[in-house]
Amino acid sequence: MFKETDKKFKFETETLRKGAYVDFPVDNPESMPIYLTTAYNVEDLDDLQARYDAKGYCYNRNRNPNRGALINLMTYLENGEASIACSSGMAAISTAIISNVKQGDHILSDKTLYGETIELIEDLLGNFGVESTFVDFTDLNEVKAAVKPNTKLLYAETIANPMITVPDIGAIAKIAHENGAILVVDNTFMTAYGFKPLDHGADLVVNSLTKFANGHSDSVAGSVTGSQKLITKAHALQVLVGSSLDAFTAWLVQRGIRTLNLRLKKQMENALALAKALEKSPYVLKVNYPGLESHPQHEFAKKQFPKGFGGMLSFVMPDDRKKINEFMRKLNLAHYAMTLGGYRTTLSHPVMSSHSTVPESVRRAMGITDGLMRVSIGIEDTEDLVNDFIQALEVFKK
Ligand SMILES: Cc1ncc(COP(=O)(O)O)c(C=O)c1O
């Protein structure tokens, strides 16, 4: 604790010490204060030891109260025993994976994933001698057949980016456990509002909190949640690589999450309405949304996602760049942004953003074409949103 003393020091010294506290006690603020401090003053070596023993606050990279508060919230939401909060979704994904594999191990992963996750598993971890295979996780026979004696980790997204496919997390967890492996699930697209992977047997759940969880497109953050044992390992790695989330961003994300249920409910309603309208449009070749009867996993998705089918969809337009540009310029409400999950509807073009680093042959195998547009649905008035897409699609009229 910083020492207040009656002893008087010179101007240069007092400038460093005065004003550290206010006179009136500031207990129980309605909103949690932001702890912008790198470290905490320690009374003596016994105090230091007590802090180590109680996992108390010493240094910001290890622990910070705002990160702690967000961690408690995520642990509750995802129904785990513990969490870590990371400087981005990718920091969370890499910490979750790297804390559980070593040279010679094999990762078995869904072939449809966020592009940089594929790059992390295949290229970065490949350079360190970790093997990987990517198969279609909506085909359980393919998953079973691809397991190897050295498979240590299976990896899936609740709703896979950008084809919006829905793997059966419970069945995949069973395959992982029967083979002595763990399952890590990225729940970014659905969030704990719509689905809790740990309740279905996943061992770790990762979230890019940058997206729907925070929901305001103003912060980059991530989390990993799971058992105390796995999170202790992940936290140890996080401290070494320095992927800890800063206090201010942790505070912003926690504030954003307070309205998660309201936003997701409306985003899911809007997504279903827009998906149905796009499916009827003569200018749209295909719509990928689990709430549509045409979606290959629709019946299963109804069981897995009782609250709704999420706020993400993708749809296919003719591969005509000029017309696609015209369509984008004609939209009044949905603008292009290289993110997702915000309160406003945004567009993204997987070929030119999220999957630009994925080789074209792999992209094609996933079904990602130049005409594929991914839409992250916002909380606009439903009619306004649908009408705006429909009028913009008129550019495809001959
Ligand atoms: C499904 C999914 N997971 C993880 C990430 C990475 O999140 P971040 O940008 O917070 O690192 C993204 C980014 O778009 C994503 O779409």
- Start-end of H helices in 242-334: 247-257, 260-280, 298-304, 321-330
365: exposed, middle or buried (Cβ count in 10 Å: 0-12, 13-18, 19+): middle
CB distance 186 to ligand 1 below 6 Å: yes
Which runs of E-coded beta strand occur in 28-105?
A: 82-86
CB distance 90 to ligand 1 below 6 Å: yes
pLDDT of residue 42: 92
Q: Is 144 considered catalytic here?
A: no
Q: Which ligand 1 atom sits nearest the alpha carbon of residue 91? A: 11
Fold (topology level) of 67-257: Aspartate Aminotransferase; domain 2 (3.40.640)
Which DSSP string corresponds to 345-390? Answer: -EEE-GGGTTTTTS-HHHHHHHT--TTEEEEE--SS-HHHHHHHHH
- Name the average pLDDT for the chain: 95
Using one digit for the tens of pLDDT, what is the confidence trace for 210-250?
A: 999 999 999 999 999 999 999 999 999 999 999 999 999 99
Per-residue pLDDT for 23 more than 80?
A: no
Fold (topology level) of 260-396: Aspartate Aminotransferase, domain 1 (3.90.1150)
Q: Is 21 considered catalytic here?
A: no
pLDDT of residue 1: 52
Taking alpha carbons only, the member of 219, 217, 255, 242 closest to residue 69 is 255
CB distance 194 to ligand 1 below 6 Å: no
CB distance 87 to ligand 1 below 6 Å: no
CB distance 222 to ligand 1 below 6 Å: yes
Q: Can you give the C-alpha Rg of the chain in angstroms? A: 23
Taking alpha carbons only, the member of 269, 290, 340 closest to residue 166 is 290
Catalytic one of 63, 152, 211, 374: 211
Catalytic one of 51, 61, 286, 323: 61
Q: Is 344 considered catalytic here?
A: no
For residue 29, the CA-to-ligand 1 centroid distance in Å is: 33
CB distance 345 to ligand 1 below 6 Å: no
Q: Domain limits of the chain?
A: 67-257, 260-396
Using one digit for the tens of pLDDT, what is the confidence trace for 53-65?
A: 999 999 999 999 9
Taking alpha carbons only, the member of 101, 279, 280 closest to residue 184 is 101
Minimum CA distance residue for ligand 1 atom 14: 339
Least trusted range by pLDDT, from 112-116, 139-143, 205-209, 306-310: 112-116
Q: Is 186 considered catalytic here?
A: yes
DSSP state of 108: E
Taking alpha carbons only, the member of 269, 305, 275 closest to residue 289 is 275
Least trusted range by pLDDT, from 5-19, 145-159, 261-275, 329-343: 5-19
pLDDT above 90: percentage of residues in the chain:
89
134 with 163: CB under 8 angstroms? no
Distance (Å, rounded) from C-alpha 196 to C-alpha 131? 28
